[in-house]
Chain A
Amino acid sequence: MAGLHKTDITPPRWLLAELTYACPLQCPYCSNPLAYAQNNRELSTADWKRVLTQARKLGAVQLGFSGGEPLTRTDLVELVEHARSLGYYSNLITSGYGLSEAKIMQLKAAGLDHIQVSIQASTQELNDHIAGTASFHHKKEVARLVKKHGYPMVLCVVIHRQNIGQMPDILAMAEELGADYLELANTQYYGWAHINRDLLLPTQKQFDQAEAVAQAYKETVAGKMKIYYVVPDFYEDRPKACMNGWGSTFLTIAPDGAALPCHSARELPGLDCPNVNDYSIEDIWYQSKTFNFFRGFDWMQEPCRSCDEKFKDFGGCRCQAYLLTGNLYAADPVCSKSPDHAVIGQAIAAAKATALAGEEKPLLFRNRKNSKSFF
């Protein structure tokens, strides 16, 4: 692309390896593509090893094993071993479902650095409802075992309207389980969460109350448990610096080998994401149309193009711009300078109306049957 040379491109630091789309859970805010079930092909063990080696050579050092549920891959321990030998810091991002103490020890011996366990709520009833699978007690047990075996324990709770009222209980549960880090991730409305947004988006008041509770708790557990609070950008007036800038830091490899600048990029039209079976990671990162698409600032439209904040937020999220305005070059509509900013207010109003109406339509759970309605 014009004006951008290979020397201006920073190397990848983060590799997200989505090993599989298979998952025993059915969370209705899943970040996998809606049509994930269309795609049954998975990279082989040898393919993944090659990807890890090539990305490490370029500079990637943080590695996330994700999915779907990465534990469903029978070669996980072998891949962890390979990652450790290359010097990665490897993170297992798991539902905890199916994780035994023997497996936790096996992964530790293979060199896994950290396990992040997700919990959907502070009560069994809501956790099992949102997960679409009875899993609450097992997840808590897994969290304890992760801690017992000397891993840093990160508990991740995705926050939305159905569990936001549990904030005090979620914080207490994390402390009781001995979490070193608690990630309170307000739902980002892409993919499945976008479809279910009217049922998931909290009201401003709910959000403000929950944030105040979480921030106050931060003080009480300082030095013991770190709390990461991921803000819901619908209630911000500036967009997030999505992925730290397109093609600057993050590289995601989907189960079938598609290389993506962010895990949601597959939903953008016309990107033609390159596959690791056809090209090396180096060629993909530096030369591909996909990774160069939104690098730099030449692609921007107004108001981003002349905005003095573009160096800070890079125009926000491309996937959100496309989902909410139909234009992938537009300013992220979260920004109050965006001419499309009203769509955010409309989304908030629609979600509130749904909540008030009481008779809520059912959540669309992430499973193969529902996925098939999208292709």
Chain B
Amino acid sequence: MAIDPDQPIAFSRLHRLQWEEAQQKYVILYPEGLVELNLSSAEILKCCDGSHTLAQIIGELEEKFATEGLSHDITAFLEVALHNGWIAQN
């Protein structure tokens, strides 16, 4: 599954992204399931608000962390996220 560069990316309506105080990490919650996220994965998913495209998300994160060259890692992670149903495109 590949990300459509022209479509905005939204977090799945059937999952919930949530900060867990006891574990000090973000988790994805879905029916009877739980995925613990590392910090960079959580940062990427938080940008999936249904209004930003792949290029915009990359730009936003490179600016936020004052770095370049995140394109490959972010794209690869979002493809996994799409495959797992954590994000969706219309």
Q: Spell out A's residues near B (CB within 8 Å).
A: 11, 13, 57-59, 61-62, 64, 87, 89, 91, 113-114, 116, 150, 152, 154, 180-181, 223, 226
Contacts and interface: CB of A to CB of B under 8 A. Distances in A.
Given A89-B16, A113-B16, A180-B14, A154 B22 contact: no
Contacts, number: 46
Given A11-B22, A64-B32, 16 more contacts: A11-B23, A61-B20, A61-B34, A62-B29, A62-B32, A62-B34, A89-B18, A89-B34, A91-B31, A91-B32, A116-B32, A152-B14, A152-B30, A154-B31, A154-B32, A223-B85
B37 interface: no
A152 B31 contact: yes
Contacts of A89: 16, 18, 29-30, 34
Interface in B23-59: 23, 27, 29-34
A68 to B, nearest CB: 18
A58 B22 CA distance: 7
B55 to A, nearest CB: 24
B31 A181 contact: yes
Query: Which of A64, A89, A226 has most chain B Cβ within 10 Å?
Result: A89
12 contacts: A11-B23, A57-B22, A61-B18, A61-B29, A64-B32, A89-B29, A91-B32, A116-B31, A150-B13, A152-B30, A152-B31, A223-B85
B32 A59 contact: no
Nearest to A60: B22
A57 B16 CA distance: 19
Contacts of B13: 150
Closest 4 CB pairs of A and B: A59-B22, A89-B29, A152-B14, A114-B31
A104 to B, nearest CB: 16
A346 to B, nearest CB: 33
Interface string B73-89: 00000000000010000
A57 B20 CA distance: 10
Contacts of B27: 61
Most chain A beta carbons < 10 A, residue from B16, B18, B22, B85: B22
Contacts of B32: 62, 64, 91, 114, 116, 154
Contacts of A226: 85
Contact of B34 (A13, A57, A180, A223): A13
A59 B23 contact: yes
A59 B31 contact: no
Nearest to A116: B31
